[in-house]
Chains A and B, each alone.
Chain A
């Protein structure tokens, strides 16, 4: 009997040792799982933030570049009677006169993009012949009644608007 009891002790010790070992391994694995989950969430959050920043940067680009491009063209062509907003086939068009005879630049919105057409209106080219400058969700152009101020605006995400005063007075004798 005494011999049996003596024999049983090492078995108990071994069980306890195995149990402790199991908890150790389990805890370590649990810690590793937490580590992996945290790493995953950090990467996901980072990806989301990067996506947001990228989207916002893209919106800023399309919104402001279109406005600044048109503003630059207006400043360039700002001479008496040189900048006007006309309506062609129901589309408001910014018409900027050039130094080359009767040639004019038309800037307008068509098929999801700001388009530009440099031609002589007598040549018969239309809005469908313009070159796409920049894709954006919407673009609107207008002129004040006294023709001194040009309003340009982009639509959609990152949209903006700009009022441009014509230094030439918009064709009105001052």
Chain B
């Protein structure tokens, strides 16, 4: 009688261990999915802001802003930086220790009397805490925008 009781309890224990094992497996998968969803949501937000930032830069350039009408009022640099709240940082901010969370590289091909091109590539900056170090996207590019405008001959 005792041995029968013991064996039924043992089977129950085995069942519980198996259930717990299966549950742990499912929980591990679920948590991985949660983390992935969270990071995708953050990325979506950053991409959203990157699109707005790139559009703003492109519009300022398209209107034919001269060197003195650059994004921060001091000409058109090759690189623009923003802080974590997407506030534009100028050279004095960066020299003062402000962290460049996001950066845009501006590759321009300009000549008077020609159609000028600019490629704006917004990416996570060097100071971004979640900057990925993987080989899949080493540049951490969030958004790329190509713009053209006609520059009249002087």
Question: A-side interface residues toward B, CB under 8 Å?
Answer: 14, 17, 20-21, 24-25, 27-28, 31-32, 34-35, 38-39, 42, 45-46, 49, 52-53, 56-57, 59-60, 63-64, 67, 71, 148-149, 158-166
Count: A-B pairs, CB below 8 Å: 90
Indicate whether B148 reaches chain A with its CB closer than 8 angstroms: no
Q: Is the interface of B mostly helix, strand, loop or mixed?
A: helix
Nearest-neighbour CB distance to chain A for B63, whole angstroms, equals: 3
Question: Interface size (B, Cβ < 8 Å)?
Answer: 35
B44-77: CB near A (< 8 Å → 1, else 0) gives 1100110010011001101100000000000000
Closest A-chain residue to B44, C-beta based? A60
B41 contacts across to A, CB distance below 8 A: 52-53, 56-57
- Main secondary structure on A side of the interface with B: helix
A54 to chain B, nearest CB (A): 9
Give the docked Cα–Cα distance between A47 and B60 (Å).
Answer: 43
Q: Smallest Cβ distance from B154 to chain A, in angstroms? A: 15
Tell me if B56 and A162 are in contact (CB < 8 A): yes
| A19 to B: closest C-beta gap in Å | 12
- Identify A52's interface contact among B38, B55, B60, CB under 8 A: B38
Partner of A166, one of B27, B55, B63: B63
Chain A positions within 8 Å of B10 at CB level: 24
Instruction: Provide the residues of chain A in CB contact with B17, threshold 8 Å.
Output: 31
Let me know if A56 and B59 touch, CB within 8 A: no
Stretch in B18-26, B92-100, B102-110 with 4+ CB within 8 Å of A: B18-26
Residue from A14, A35, A52, A159 within 8 A of B19 (CB atoms): A35
